[in-house]
Amino acid sequence: MSAVEEEVVATEEGVTYEFDENFQEQIAAWVLRDTDFNQRTEGLVQPRYMTSESLGQIVSLALDYFNKYKMIPSKTAFVMLFTDAVKNKTIRGDLVEDMKQALRQLYAVELDDKDFTIDRVAEFARHSAMTEAILKSAELVDKRDFPAIEKAIKQALMVGENQDNSKIDFFETIEGRAEYRKELLAGRITYDGITTGFKELDRVLYNKGWGRKELSVIMGAAKAGKSMSLIAFAVNACLAGYNVLYVSLEVAARIIADRMDANIAKTAMKDLQIALGAVRDKVKAASAKAGKFSLFDFPTGSFSPGDLRRLLHREAAKGNHYDMVVVDYADLMRPDQMSSEMRENSRMIYIDLRAISYEFNCALLSATQTNREGFKSTVSKMEHVAEDINKVRTVDLLISINSSDEDKANNEAKLYFAASRNQKGNFIVRVKTNLEQARMIESIIEIEA
């Protein structure tokens, strides 16, 4: 049956709609009385989906208790919650009698067909979310806010869709994992990581390159070479045949393109005009085996993860799919939903970026600032990340750029693996740099274990 259209279902009582009040009452009873039901439908049942306001208030109280204690409230506990809500005027006085009557019915109704009901909950949630989105869209049409309409509809369609599609039966799939490892060892298949452009560096990465469905972040002080690093890694991936989308929120696209020309042509930035013919020829020659490179720039603080998602969807509609997405850089983004707490804004930006890498099966690379202590340190570690340590919890890989005065004089830098989800960290990769040619890494000097 369609999740959007109301279809008629024959019952012993007569004819009712698929997700009518009787069905909603069953859901409310399960929410109120069964911990396992709540565990298996967590995040799907929303109080606002209930047609009856009284039923919605009961579901809201029950879910608040479950979300806090991970169990259903006893009758005594629920009565206390109900009484407090009435005293605090969280519940309107005119709803009290209706809620009391509904509670008696919910505690009296027979609970059966749990598995069937759970199976239908995802469809019910999607149906309710879509109805809500359509009603909201009708208001937004008058305001001509079409991006908001698109977002509302897409979010509604996504409700409940990820319940089973990521399931892996661990023991039944061991043969497949063993065969995959065997093929890797034999060289008949390769890792799906996106190359850094340096075999020595690829070898120390778990995915033998930047991992798909992962968020990797370069950390450094102001003017330490974060953007230069992002550009260099993006160029290397593109020259290896991967498609790259690059979003700049700090440096104009024209300057990014100049740096790319200098990198590919191995020409100093100051000599691009003098050597314009040679630069042009070298870039054209490199394009023959390169992937697609799409470059966008947006004003600082104007671009959100939702904007990035829409950009990727628009590109996909044109047939453009990307292996690597670079955001230069995440600290300069705005969150989709602004909070008064700066740390919460930062946390949600990083969480959403990581989700995008998963959704589009791409490696997502960005950068972040160090704090003041990191600026003073010889080597910046994960505790030196600026603004919010939650960044470290979210990212899959955090690499800091470190250069002492002596390093800078010798055109060298140290890449410190400050945090990693899937491999060992706390080691340094010493590199040779050529900043004049926008080549943050010209060669690997050594890996210090």
Report the candidate in 421, 433, 429 with the shortest Cα–Cα distance to residue 379: 429
Q: Torsions phi, psi of 216, nearest 5?
A: -110, 135
Q: Give the range with max mean pLDDT: 42-46, 64-68, 299-303, 337-341.
A: 299-303
In this structure, are 142 and 198 located in the same domain? no
**Is residue 385's pLDDT more than 90?**
no
User: 167 lies in a domain?
Assistant: no
Helix (H, G, I), strand (E, B) or coil at 180: helix
Question: Which domain CATH number covers 25?
Answer: 1.10.860
Q: Specify if 120 maps to a domain.
A: yes
Residue pair 418/428 in contact (Cβ under 8 Å)? The answer is no
Contact 267, 275 (CB under 8 A): yes
How far is it, in rounded angstroms, from Cα 230 to Cα 367?
A: 8
Q: Which residue has the tokens 């259209």?
A: 5
Q: Does residue 43 register a pLDDT over 90?
A: no
Please check the confidence at residue 153 and state whether its pLDDT lies above 80: no
- Residue 266 inside a domain? The answer is yes
Tokens standing for residue 146 = 């079409």
Residue 132 lies in a domain: yes
Confidence of residue 8 (pLDDT cuts 50, 70, 90): very low
**DSSP-assigned letters across all residues of 148-161:** HHHHHHHHHHHTTT
What are the strands of the beta sheet with 214-220, ordered from one edge? Answer: 293-297, 244-248, 324-328, 363-369, 214-220, 397-402, 412-420, 428-434, 439-448
Helix axes 96-108, 53-69, angle to 10 degrees: 70
Query: Residues 245, 364: contact at Cβ < 8 Å?
Result: no
Inside any domain, residue 172: no
Do residues 282 and 232 lie in contact, with contact meaning Cβ atoms separated by under 8 Å?
A: no
User: Do 28 and 86 belong to one domain?
Assistant: yes
* Whether residues 201 and 309 fall in one domain: yes
Looking at 133, 158, 183, which one is the last position of a domain?
A: 158
Give yes or no for residue 283 having a pLDDT over 90: yes
Count of residues for the chain?
449
Tokens of 370: 């160090």
Q: Which of 289-293, 385-389, 399-403 has the lowest mean pLDDT?
A: 385-389
User: Mean pLDDT across the stretch 129-133?
Assistant: 74
Residue from 58, 46, 50 nearest 98 by CA: 58
**CATH for 360:** 3.40.50.300
- Same domain for 196 and 151: no
- What pLDDT score was predicted for residue 17? 40
User: Residues 209, 126: one domain?
Assistant: no
Q: Are residues 131 and 261 in the same domain?
A: no
150 and 230 both lie in a single domain: no
Record the tokens describing residue 137, joined without a space.
Answer: 């869209």
141 and 278 together in one domain: no
Task: Report whether pLDDT(157) > 70.
Answer: no
Question: What is the residue range of 139's domain?
Answer: 8-158
- Under the banding of pLDDT at 50, 70 and 90, the label for residue 158 is low
The candidate with the shortest Cα–Cα distance to 67, out of 42, 47, 46, is 42
Angle at 252 between CA 298 and CA 400, to 5 degrees: 90
State the CB neighbour count (10 A cutoff) for residue 166: 7
Nearest to 330 by CA among 205, 216, 193, 242: 216
Considering the domain boundaries, does residue 267 fall inside one?
A: yes
Could you give the dihedral angle defined by the CA atoms of residues 319, 213, 446 and 239, in that order, rounded to the nearest 10 degrees? Answer: 0
> Could you give the number of structural domains in the chain?
2
Query: Domain for residue 254, yes or no?
Result: yes
Residues 12 and 118 in one domain: yes
**CA 167 and chain centroid, separation:** 19
User: Within this chain, do residues 131 and 218 fall inside the same structural domain, yes or no?
Assistant: no
196 and 154 assigned to the same domain? no
> Which tokens is 268 given?
């100093």
Mean pLDDT of the chain: 85
**pLDDT tens digits for range 389-406:** 778 888 999 999 998 889
Residue that is last in its domain, among 104, 137, 158: 158
Q: Which of 298, 274, 1 has the alpha carbon at shortest distance from 127? A: 1
Smallest Cα–Cα separation from 130: which of 92, 91, 156?
Answer: 156
DSSP string, 352-381: HHHHHHHHTT-EEEEEEEB-HHHHHSSS--
Among residues 414, 435, 76, 30, the alpha carbon closest in space to that of 263 is found at: 435
Cα distances (Å, whole numbers) of residue 440 to 169, 401, 416, 433: 43, 10, 14, 5
Does 370 lie in the same domain as 324? yes
252 found inside a domain? yes
